[in-house]
Amino acid sequence: MAENVFEFTDQNFESEVLQSGSPVLVDFWAEWCGPCKVIGPVVEDIANDYKDQVKVGKLNVDHNQQTAMKYGIRSIPSLLVFKDGSVYNQIVGSVPRERITKLLEEAL
């Protein structure tokens, strides 16, 4: 994973995402998912560009099914923006970078 991209798990999700003092972008993904591979570099670029404002990370749905089920993840990639411990907004599918950054700007 890129330098500014966190790895979220069932075990650290509450402390790293829900208790974060800044907005968090979570990329729900899996290794076998083609569209996830397409959007992965976009998420990494966003993590670098927003490193001082937003925490960005990935959660592998195959290895962390509890969290994926809790948030109703049925299609991947799913990008959820968390703010103040709750889902602020979400995007499903591989989308242009501008759509993701627009959601982040709204959360800031």
Catalytic residues: 33, 36
Nearest partner of 82 among 63, 103, 102, judged by Cα: 103
- For residues 96 and 38, give the distance between their C-alpha atoms in angstroms, rounded to a whole number: 10
List, edge to edge, every strand of the sheet that includes 78-83. Answer: 5-7, 55-60, 24-29, 78-83, 86-92
Decide: helix, strand or coil at residue 25. strand
